[in-house]
Amino acid sequence: MEILDVLRSGDRRLTRRMAAWDSAWARQVLPPVEDAAEHTKLWWAAAVIMTAGGGWRGRKAAAAGITAMAVAELLSNGVAKQVVERRRPPKEWIPHDDVEDRPDSSSFPSGHTAAAVAFTAAVASCWPWAGAACAVPTVLVALERVHSGAHYPSDVAAGAAIGLAAAALVRATPHLLVRRGLG
């Protein structure tokens, strides 16, 4: 069996297992996480809180987080989803009602995860404590995207990689501009 076949098979198995995860905790926590993460509301709210209560460090972290999130949104939704066409997991695999709320766009990559990881990683580089606090909902967003049937785990992993790259780019940009004499 080729490596890609093994990866696809594992991706499908993990998707089915995570979507079938039926616990009171998952039913109570994951749907509100999805609602909060929709249209990046959760991350904008976190940025407002950091700006209002975090002094200069909070403002810097919030600005870095929002900038990285915007870059990740552009890369994931504006570029990658246009290049890679992947169908969402089959509805038959999802044994709960969340499957009806899935978007029609390409499954690859997870834009929600890209935005969440980008925001959190950028915030963590400026204010580690706030980044650690943001990591909890970021993980919940990633779990929810597979549990709801919106994505395969590999879509979420690709979204996380895009988010990390966006945060690294935002962090490196001022240094690159200064080095090139543009800053």
pLDDT of the residue at 135:
97
pLDDT of the residue at 91:
82
What would the pLDDT profile of 70-120 be if each residue is shown by its tens digit? 999 999 999 999 899 899 888 888 776 656 666 778 889 999 999 999 999
Say how far apart CA 150 and CA 58 lie, in whole Å.
33
Specify the CATH number for the domain of residue 39. Answer: 1.20.144
| Positions of the chain with pLDDT under 70 | 1, 96-102, 174-183
Q: Count up the domains in the chain and report the number.
A: 1
Contact 114, 166 (CB under 8 A): yes
pLDDT of the residue at 160:
98
DSSP category for residue 152: -
pLDDT of the residue at 7:
84
pLDDT of the residue at 26:
80
Give the distance from CA 19 to its chain's centroid.
18
Contacts of 135 by beta carbon, 8 Å cutoff, 6+ apart: 120, 124
pLDDT of the residue at 102:
67
| Residue range(s) defining the domain that contains residue 149 | 3-179
pLDDT of the residue at 178:
47
Cis, peptide link before residue 174, omega less than 30° from 0? no
